[in-house]
Structure 1
């Protein structure tokens, strides 16, 4: 079977989406399918992407941080994608990664060519946009495009029941499969290395994440535990404000901001950290989201300190009954500072970190998730199923 993956971001570009899509491609090729990836040309020096799939890239506009992020940047990818997909050798199915503009383009082209597609609804982009802009018009347009993209799909795949519920709230009745999320355990794994006096936040940090509270929490922690460092690895819209806040609190030299790095470079840093940090801001309209960065940290044997609403806290609380996965704290500087102290005062032993890594590999590997997603894509391709036919024939509606 021939499958096309349409995505603006793909390996070797460092991101959770890149890891996930690469794993899906690996699962499809391992099953004997032909995979072609239509994606953006990576930045110089990022390495090669292909591991058996055929990767076709084309130049795109990027923002100041090197990301394909923003409406003009999305258009620079979506317009060429439309022509490439229109004239590509016919696939049995297409797998499309957001943004919704890309999903809308894929729906139009696939409708013209009568090709079924699967949409990756890992989260709701229009909800995130509602927190990032004051323009109601922008949010309404994006929400309309997102509904259009999801309604045209033969199936959606997503990471949690919370997203399914939100999809239904938006009036989308397309069948959904909760395939989950996980860590790339071929890269993230236990290393027997010394633990440093270091905490790491790895990933994007925006107003939705509320990671700025970590600056105040770390300042309070440092009053009783000097000599530790807090390192942010990734891009964030609030980085300048966070730098200024750290300087004003007298901890500027202890707080580091690093660019995104490939998984192979992030994993050893997590192995040396006392704990990783993850946050989600309450009241941001994103309470259903799971902070998937927790999986990679745990796969490296690094416990997680999480603060915020959503399914991450219950996940960690339940997992802690089996292995020492970290701490859950209220979303306040004092509560997070207390969690930092607990982690610093009782760091995990090497044997405990190895247990955490092995448990994560056994229960939450990206490979298993990717195989579930690949199975849904091939099922759609085998059935030749378009959305109208799927609903008339009583197609599977996932867990919704």
Structure 2
């Protein structure tokens, strides 16, 4: 039984990852139930066969995200009763926030059911970008540690995150599983780079992403390439600020914002973009965060420009492929220089096809899901 506030068809990395995990459990002979939230208005539900998905109403913000304490409570409180009165499961798989993990720990104890956590971030440190309240942060830190320490296993993004958990006193066995892309959705279909440069940011643009740096970099790009465009797909609370900044710089005609789109629709957009762009602000919480969107970009044959800190820089610098992309410091001039360089020498179609093939062989979510289920088999009683 998978408990997650976010699931397909809602567009997010977690949605795709958990869908693939569910399919792998199903293919191993398990009955799989997803307890999740009703998707945003207009979303088209297309659940795979053999998986029961139970959706309940939830409070969403104006960007149609389940985000913030009230939204989390609107999911977590009903979740407690949904778990309590559902047929007993062999294993709970839970997606944070920490409040959801805490609910699963309580119900898991009552029903004597072990649980595992998909631990992609350390939420307490990320929350420091939103609030300075010592009371709130102290409660969140204790709640997160309590929930994670009750799990049988943490499926963590990478070793630096596990190291941070250890410093925070979280001692649960943890496995670094890495990230990847669903190559069923993300692949290269033969598109060429456009005549005028196009840079694509696909995903959430929140405080800790700092995606506005690309808006600030665009004037320098437009000096060299007047027809260049910067296109955002996704949503986030920083959008209004980025729109205002584009108007302030007088480049609003060159910057476009669109809502989230399904992976299958995003893939050809990435395949034909000059480069995708990704960022993480230089704050402590991001020192071990990884911009997962880079994997989808590479699987679609699109080089990446990353501005920020953390393991994404190491990943791109050590990727072992000459066209994977470039990582720069979170600096406007350095970011603009990387964008100009990409526009000056766009990757040709044969290079894009080779990049996509290399990425598919290296970073597959299907392979990760296989490992998750293998490890989970040792946890399930009996």
Query: TM-score normalised by the shorter chain: which range applies?
Result: over 0.9
Name the TM-score, length of structure 1 as normaliser: 0.92
> Which of 18, 32, 35 is the matching residue for 1:35?
32
Alignment of 1:378 onto 2:377: yes
Alignment root-mean-square deviation, CA: 1.2
Q: Is the 8 A contact 1:10 1:49 kept in 2?
A: no
Q: Is the 8 A contact 1:159 1:179 kept in 2?
A: yes
Whole-angstrom CA distance in 1 between matches of 2:363 and 2:244: 37
Q: Which runs of 5+ in 2 are unaligned?
A: none
Structure 1, residues 57-79: CA drift from partner, whole Å, max 9, x if none? 11111111111111111111111
Shift of 1:48: 2.0
Structure 1, residues 270-328: CA drift from partner, whole Å, max 9, x if none? 11110000111113432111111100000000000011111111111111x33411112
Alignment of 1:309 onto 2:309: yes
Per mean C-alpha deviation after superposition, the further-off stretch among 85-94 and 47-56 is: 47-56
Whole-angstrom CA distance in 1 between matches of 2:240 and 2:321: 40
Provide the secondary structure at the position in 2 that maps to 1:285.
helix
Structure 1, residues 12-50: CA drift from partner, whole Å, max 9, x if none? 111100000001001111111110100111134322242
Whole-angstrom CA distance in 1 between matches of 2:124 and 2:169: 14
Residue 7 of structure 1: aligned partner: 4
Structure 1, residues 358-386: CA drift from partner, whole Å, max 9, x if none? 11111101111111112222221146xxx
Shift of 1:107: 0.1
5 Å matches for 1:166-315? 166-196=164-194, 197-315=197-315
Per mean C-alpha deviation after superposition, the further-off stretch among 8-17 and 193-202 is: 193-202
Q: Is the 8 A contact 2:193 2:347 kept in 1?
A: no
Shift of 1:213: 1.4
Provide the secondary structure at the position in 2 that maps to 1:56.
strand
Residue 328 of structure 1: aligned partner: 327
Shift of 1:194: 2.9
Alignment of 1:138 onto 2:136: yes
Structure 1, residues 233-255: CA drift from partner, whole Å, max 9, x if none? 11122211111111111111100
> Which of 127, 141, 156 is the matching residue for 1:158?
156
Q: How many pairs were matched up? A: 379
Whole-angstrom CA distance in 2 between matches of 1:200 and 1:271: 10
Residue 47 of structure 2: aligned partner: 50
Whole-angstrom CA distance in 1 between matches of 2:193 and 2:68: 39
Shift of 1:135: 1.9
Q: Is the 8 A contact 2:105 2:147 kept in 1?
A: yes
Whole-angstrom CA distance in 2 between matches of 1:236 and 1:41: 19
Residue 348 of structure 2: aligned partner: 349
Provide the secondary structure at the position in 2 that maps to 1:218.
helix
Whole-angstrom CA distance in 1 between matches of 2:2 and 2:376: 10
Name the TM-score, length of structure 2 as normaliser: 0.97
